[in-house]
């Protein structure tokens, strides 16, 4: 395999996660789920300490629909992103606005796994 081909493969997971984050910030659940595999796994950060695990496209889709309905101002700012092969790590700052328009934020990390050009796993962790 030539060097440019290897680099393209390494960068593919990062590009996919960037697309996913753009869809997230537009609250585009269909766009997000188009980038996830049918057997995808998503581990949320809540409730502490282990969060909730959602398995399969239907369960993950329903989570995101409920999430954006409850958090209409949700936004993720990427602080750092890097990948290698089928893995990608994204350090982020998640911000929201509450009913009184007073917002808040938390910082955390997502660990993604990509298989066959789709996100198969998204594990989310938040700072204490």
Domain span at residue 40?
3-126
Element (H, E) at 47: none
**Whole-number CA gyration radius for the chain:** 15
- Mean pLDDT along residues 51-66: 98
Strand pairing of 118-126 and 36-43?
parallel
Q: What is the pTM of this model?
A: 0.89
Can you tell me whether residue 68 is helix, strand or coil? helix
**Number of structural domains in the chain:** 1
Segment 53-60 mean pLDDT? 98
CATH number at residue 11: 3.10.450.50
32: three-class secondary structure by DSSP: helix
Biggest alpha carbon–alpha carbon distance for the chain:
56
For 74-88, what is each residue's pLDDT tens digit? 999 999 999 988 999
87-105 pLDDT, tens per residue? 999 999 999 876 666 779 9
């Amino acid at each position: 395999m030539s060097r440019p081909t290897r680099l393209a493969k390494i960068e593919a997971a990062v590009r996919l996660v960037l697309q996913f984050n753009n869809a997230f910030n537009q609250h585009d659940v269909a766009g997000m789920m188009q980038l996830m595999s049918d057997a995808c796994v998503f581990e949320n950060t809540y409730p502490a300490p282990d969060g909730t695990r959602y398995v399969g496209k239907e369960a993950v889709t329903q989570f995101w629909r409920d999430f954006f309905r409850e958090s209409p101002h949700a936004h993720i700012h990427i602080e750092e992103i890097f990948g290698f092969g089928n893995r990608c790590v994204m350090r982020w700052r998640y911000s929201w606005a509450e009913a009184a328009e007073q917002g808040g934020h938390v910082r955390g990390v997502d660990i993604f796994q990509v298989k066959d050009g789709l996100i198969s796993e998204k594990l989310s962790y938040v700072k204490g």
